[in-house]
Amino acid sequence: MAESCKKSMEVLKLAQSRGLPPPKHHFEERSLRTVRIFPELSSTDMVVIIVKGMNLPAPSGIQPNDLDAYIKFDFPYPSAEQPQRHKTNVIKNTNSPDYNQSFTLSITRNHRGFKRVVTSKGLKLELLHKGGFLRSDKPIGSALVKLDKLESQSEIREIVEVMDGRKHTGGRVEVKVRLREPLSGQDVQTSTERWLVIDSSKGPV
């Protein structure tokens, strides 16, 4: 494919240099298979990206446009007793906050405890409204991000429901989670492209 593209570029450049119209060509559909990997990550990194909240419910006594929301989470690895804790910045005066914050967690890919978290526990998010002077933070709700797709994918993107206990609140949170590569196998992506093919027999001589 690379050789074919190189020859096509040479034909195009030659036609342009001679002031000729573009050579005869047609389009074909080509399926390309690529392996997705995040080379900037090490094998001991897991990156959690809190993208945004959408239509978050305001606690009692708070107006939606007065909501000062932040998200925190405890990742129960290496253990539930020693979780990795993180939280976003507070985004003020909106119930649809944009966070776009990344958090890098330390993992051991083949550790039984880590695989248990991925396959059965997931990542629980807690959403809170930041209290003011002498006022405690008020809970907004919680959301659970399932991680089992990391077995076969290097990145998952989830839009998860914000729950109040077992009750749906109508709010949602967008989250991405990345590994250098999937826990088992390769993350093979197939895409279909509209490919320009030059009819080489009709190109400039």
Residue 134 is predicted with a pLDDT of: 76
β strands within the chain, DSSP E? 25-36, 45-54, 69-75, 84-87, 98-106, 123-129, 138-145, 155-164, 167-179, 187-198
| Mean model confidence pLDDT for the chain | 91
Q: Between the CA of residue 58 and those of 115, 140, 156, 164, 204, what are the distances in Å?
A: 35, 6, 28, 11, 68
Q: Please state, as a whole number, how many other Cβ atoms lie within 10 Å of the Cβ of residue 70.
A: 22
pTM over 0.85: no
Of 25 and 39, the one with more pLDDT: 39
**Which pLDDT value is given to residue 13?**
87
Question: Lowest-pLDDT range, 13-17, 71-75, 180-184?
Answer: 13-17
pLDDT of residue 202: 46
Tell me the mean pLDDT in the region 126-134: 90
Tens of pLDDT, residue by residue over 102-118, are 999 999 999 999 999 99
Identify any residues that bridge with 140 across adjacent strands, giving them in sequence order.
none
In tens, the pLDDT along 155-179 reads 999 999 999 999 999 999 999 999 9
Among the ranges given (16-20, 37-41, 42-46), the one the predictor scored with the smallest mean pLDDT: 16-20
> What pLDDT, on the 0 to 100 scale, is given for residue 205?
44
150 burial (CB, 10 Å; 0-12 / 13-18 / 19+) is buried
